[in-house]
């Protein structure tokens, strides 16, 4: 029985996140020991109390792989294309604004032609 207590102490020292449950009076060391006595270090029994370190490592791994697989030349081409498009649109809007302000002649209506005996 003493051996089980030592195993639990070692388990608890490997998982310091259990302390916050004891400090917040959500759990006691006795209840944690009872869970350990029944289930051991089975992850299914401890999933609500322990932080899942594998998912955070997996997400960091996936992010680093994704960054490694990025083709910087392709990104630069897309950025250049977007800059050209924005420059073209800017050029068009400034030309239209300046040409619209320079036109001061009134519009004269064109004659309406009837071709199909309307």
pLDDT above 60 for 84: yes
Distance between CA atoms of 70 and 72, rounded to whole angstroms? 6
Sign of CA dihedral 42, 9, 29, 50: negative
What is the three-state SS of 42-77?
CHHHHCCCCCCHHHHHHHHHHHHHHHHCCCHHHHHH
pLDDT digits (tens, 9 = 90+) for 17-55: 999 999 999 999 999 999 999 998 888 889 888 875 554
Instruction: Please report, for the chain, the start and end positions of each structural domain, with discontinuous segments joined by +.
Output: 2-53
pLDDT above 80 for 103: no
User: Could you tell me the pLDDT band of residue 65, with boundaries at 50, 70 and 90?
Assistant: confident
| 73-111 b/e (C-beta count within 10 Å ≥ 16 → b) | eeeeeeeeeeeeeeeeeeeeeeeeeeeeeeeeeeeeeee
């Amino acid at each position: 029985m003493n051996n089980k207590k030592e195993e639990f102490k070692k388990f608890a020292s490997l998982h310091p996140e259990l302390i916050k449950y004891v400090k917040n009076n959500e759990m006691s060391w006795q209840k944690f020991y009872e869970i350990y006595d029944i289930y051991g270090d089975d992850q299914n029994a401890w999933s609500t109390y322990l932080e899942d370190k594998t998912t955070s490592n997996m997400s960091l791994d996936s992010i680093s792989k994704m960054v490694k697989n990025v083709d910087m030349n392709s990104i630069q081409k897309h950025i250049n294309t977007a800059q050209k498009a924005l420059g073209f649109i800017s050029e068009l809007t400034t030309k239209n604004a300046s040409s619209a302000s320079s036109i001061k002649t009134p519009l004269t209506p064109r004659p309406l032609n009837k071709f199909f005996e309307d």
